[in-house]
Chains A and B, each alone.
Chain A
Amino acid sequence: MTAVEVDDLFKSYGSVNAVRGISFSVQAGEVFGLLGPNGAGKTTTLEILEGHRRRSGGTVSVLGFDPQLGGRAFRERIGIVLQAAGVDAELTVRELLMLHGSWYPRELPIADVIELVGLEQKRSARVGTLSGGQRRRLDLALALVGDPDLIFLDEPTTGFDPAARRNAWELVDRLRRLGRTIILTSHYMDEVQHLADRVIVLSAGRIVAEGPPDSLGADGPPATIVRFRLDERHSSDQLPTELLRAIEIGEREIVIRTSAPLRTLTILCDWATASGAELRALEVVRPSLEDVYLELTSGSSAVGDGGPRVGN
């Protein structure tokens, strides 16, 4: 079942086009990631889906509602963690959760929500006394208290320490297991890689890549790296001609960038076997999502600025 359907979405602020005709869908129960640098349009997209912002063109359906017109019935079924939103510093954690929970037809037990986000020690503390990370956990708690079907998380772990991030990840995993649909944005590539079933990468308001995190960049740059050292009896100019044009000679090693790693390895190994060369510290490195992301969004690669490659 489709939870979110976006077709040809446009958003402009005056003469600035923040989102330029993007289309995607999110299935119920899926964890969906929006990736992109600052200004790529991911928060604008998210806020249009939440109903906080009006679109300039295209169609959007969220849980069967047009978010612009969905009203109370729509908002009863979603939970939102905004990138930056205030809370009343004078209330306690428990009071604030009770207040928010009282607006929904379904409500999670307040004690459960507090435990879920790890704020048991702070349940009676005024919100104004919480640290940045604790405040962010309260944001999560407020988004969950109405037991939503769809949860929007706009950079939910920004400001968390590593342990708190891991806890938040576990929480998202739990929510996924409970069948909740989650749409998140993040600057942390490992977070998206860990959490998201599928992602879209936005750059300058357009989708530049889409798919499961592991598949990103599979059919394009950046290349896989094959890295090794040769023994003393052999030198790099003895390598097969087809590899020669793609190699980079480092201080201690030879690097080959390839979009066809299996073929490159076959040629390399055949040559090594035939010539009796030893390939020391042979390593095949797949590009990380971060490499893919940087290449997709900036046009330059963290791995090697689009150097020569072995292709098919």
Chain B
Amino acid sequence: MSGTDRAFYRGRPSALRILGGQVVYQLRLLRRSPIAAFATLVIPLMVLLAIGLLYANARVSTRGDIRYVQFLTPAMVVFATVTACYMGVISSTVLAREQGILKRIRGTPLPAWAYLTGRIIAAGIVAGVSSLVVIGVGMAAYGFHMMWSSVPPALLVLTTAIFCFCSLGLAVTIVVPSAESALPLAWGTMLPLCFISDVFQPIDGAPAWLRSVAAVFPVRRFADQLEALFNPVTGGTRLDGADLVMLVVWGAGAALFALIAFRWEPAGEHGGIFPALRAIASLVRERITDLLGACAKRLSAKGRPL
């Protein structure tokens, strides 16, 4: 035997090292899962090509009479981001949970925040690559006019949206009862929102109530911001603070819920939406009790090694 007595001590690994490892791990998994990569990179591109073919030379009269492709390309960046961050995170996380991979990880020293942040950063990188591909194809195939001065604020919006939709995806995994229901639930919740949020076509002529409903959700805020940044007539480089705040609030709320109630174990006997909700309620209760217990222990043992 080479020996288990040859262990080496290097001290607790730094947060950066652990996080870097997580990002590489998640990207490697994605690279080796062609179907996941297809869904994330190809679907937005296909939608861009299909709608572009039909309406490339049409005009959007409600938005300064710009060419349709000038509206569609940033809209498809929105769709690509939502696909990579929301749909991608839900399907891969639920699958890992139902296969017992998360339970195994939970028994190791890998901190929960590192795992969750690693997922967010990896999904963000994929969203970035997907967005670049969409913009490149939009420019090459349909003559999308790139406004370079809008790139810095667009990056800020994109980063905020990545955080928002990844957090939402992680939060939604908590109520997804099984691997089979992950994708239907992800698409079923996001696709209708995309339709009413100016992603596939501008709904400027829609009833006011529908626009008001859409304005509550982050997709519309994200889409309107990005589309305005690349509109050479009515848009500009100025950001709407309310839209950004809305994205941050949705993201922060979802992240908090995910941190408190994240489920590391397969649903098992908690399969089904109502048992899942009961399990979540009990989990939240337990996590808060644990948190209080840990705080009390830390306070009482302050200055004393464990």
Query: Which residues of A does B touch, CB under 8 Å?
Result: 50-52, 54, 64-66, 68-69, 71-73, 75-76, 78, 80, 82, 84-88, 90-91, 95, 99-100, 102-109, 111-113, 115-116, 142, 144, 146-147, 174-175, 178
Query: How far does the Cβ of B93 sit from chain A's closest Cβ, in whole Å?
Result: 13
Among residues of A, the one whose C-beta sits closest to the C-beta of B293 is: A69
By the criterion CB–CB under 8 Å, are B7 and A76 in contact? no
A80-B107, A142-B104, A147-B4 known; A105-B12 Cβ under 8 A: yes
Q: Is the CB of A75 within 8 A of B108?
A: yes
Assess A85 versus B21: contact at CB under 8 Å? Given A50-B107, A105-B11: no
Complex Cα distance, B5 from A109, in Å, reads 10
Of B2, B4, B21, B106, the residue contacting A111 (CB under 8 A) is B2
* A72-B109, A112-B4 known; A107+B101 contact, CB < 8 A: no
A106 touches B107 (CB 8 A): no
Q: How far is the CA of A86 from the CA of B99 in the complex (A)?
A: 5
Q: State whether the Cβ of B13 lies closer than 8 Å to any Cβ in chain A.
A: yes
**Contacting residue for B10 out of A105, A111, A144, CB 8 A:** A105
Q: Tell me, rounded to whole Å, the shortest Cβ–Cβ distance linking B92 to chain A.
A: 10
Chain B residues with CB under 8 A of A147: 4, 7
The yes or no answer to B100 lying at the interface (CB within 8 A) is yes
Contact indicator A68/B290 (Cβ below 8 Å): yes
Inter-chain contact A52/B9, CB cutoff 8 Å: no
Is A85 in contact with B111, judged by CB distance below 8 angstroms? no
Report if B17 contacts A (CB, 8 A). yes
Q: Which residues of chain B are near A69, meaning CB under 8 Å? A: 290, 293-294, 297
Which candidate, B28-36, B60-68, B130-138, B148-156, is the interface stretch facing chain A? B28-36
Query: Besides the contacts A64-B306, A69-B293, A84-B100, what 7 more A-B pairs have beta carbons closer than 8 Å?
Result: A80-B104, A85-B101, A86-B104, A91-B25, A104-B13, A104-B108, A106-B10
Contact with A along B170-199 (1 / 0, CB 8 A): 000000000000000000000000000000
Task: Give the residues in chain A near B6, CB-CB below 8 Å.
Answer: 108-109, 112
Distance between B109 CB and nearest chain A CB, rounded to angstroms: 4
A99-B21 contact in complex given A90-B33, A107-B7, C-beta closer than 8 Å: yes
Contact indicator B29/A115 (Cβ below 8 Å): no
How near does chain A come to B77, taking the closest CB pair, in angstroms?
28
**Total chain B interface residues with beta-carbon distance under 8 A:** 40
Name which residue of chain A comes closest to B294, CB basis.
A69
B209 lies within 8 A of chain A by Cβ: no
**Interface 0/1 of B25-51, CB less than 8 Å to A:** 100110011000000000000000000
B7 touches A75 (CB 8 A): no
Judging by beta carbons under 8 Å apart, are A103 and B1 in contact? no
**A–B pairs, 25, beta carbons within 8 Å:** A50-B107, A66-B297, A69-B294, A72-B111, A73-B306, A75-B108, A76-B109, A78-B107, A80-B107, A82-B100, A86-B101, A86-B104, A87-B104, A88-B29, A90-B33, A91-B29, A103-B13, A103-B21, A104-B13, A104-B108, A105-B12, A105-B13, A108-B4, A109-B6, A142-B104
Hey, which chain B residues are within 8 Å of A88, CB to CB? 29, 96, 101
Q: Which of B25, B109, B294 contacts A99 (CB 8 A)?
A: B25
